[in-house]
Amino acid sequence: MRNLIALIIALLLGAVWFFTQSKDMPPDQVVKSQTPFVRLPEFTAAARAGETFFNAKCATCHGVNGTGSDKGPPLIHKIYEPNHHGDESFQHAAKSGVQSHHWNFGNMAPVAGITRAEVAKIVIYIREIQAANGI
């Protein structure tokens, strides 16, 4: 009985420690510890074009299907929902870069050689994945 009580106390203390530690972690560290699985929808033609542009210009940092990498944050995340980061914020980020503010990956440089039309299709691609994942 004593061993059982000691085990329960140890488990409770471990759980308290885990949750207080992960709560204080920067978002990029919390995300890195999670497996980035996303549900992919049946893409529209515009999103398929966006996927091509995304893979060429964005996936190196933002990961396959926007799930993030050790170089950049996931775009399939509630921070990038349309009400918080509207479509124009993607345009601005591609054209002018972004100062680091939600994550600890450093500043994002402007994306060389990408057009507004290409970014618009990338946004369609990301928004369709977000929608399929409840964002």
pLDDT in tens, 103-119: 999 999 999 999 999 99
Q: Does domain 45-132 have CATH number 1.10.760.10?
A: yes
Give domain limits for the chain: 2-26, 45-132
**pLDDT tens track for 3-48:** 766 556 655 444 444 444 434 434 443 344 344 689 999 999 999 9
**66-107 confidence digits (pLDDT tens):** 999 999 999 999 999 999 999 999 999 999 999 999 999 999
Q: Quote the pLDDT of residue 1.
A: 74
At residue 33, the pLDDT reads 35
81 with 133: CB under 8 angstroms? no
What's the pTM? 0.74
Q: What are phi and psi of 108, to 5 degrees?
A: -95, 125
In our burial notation (b when 16+ CB lie closer than 10 A, e otherwise), range 103-113 reads bebeebeebee
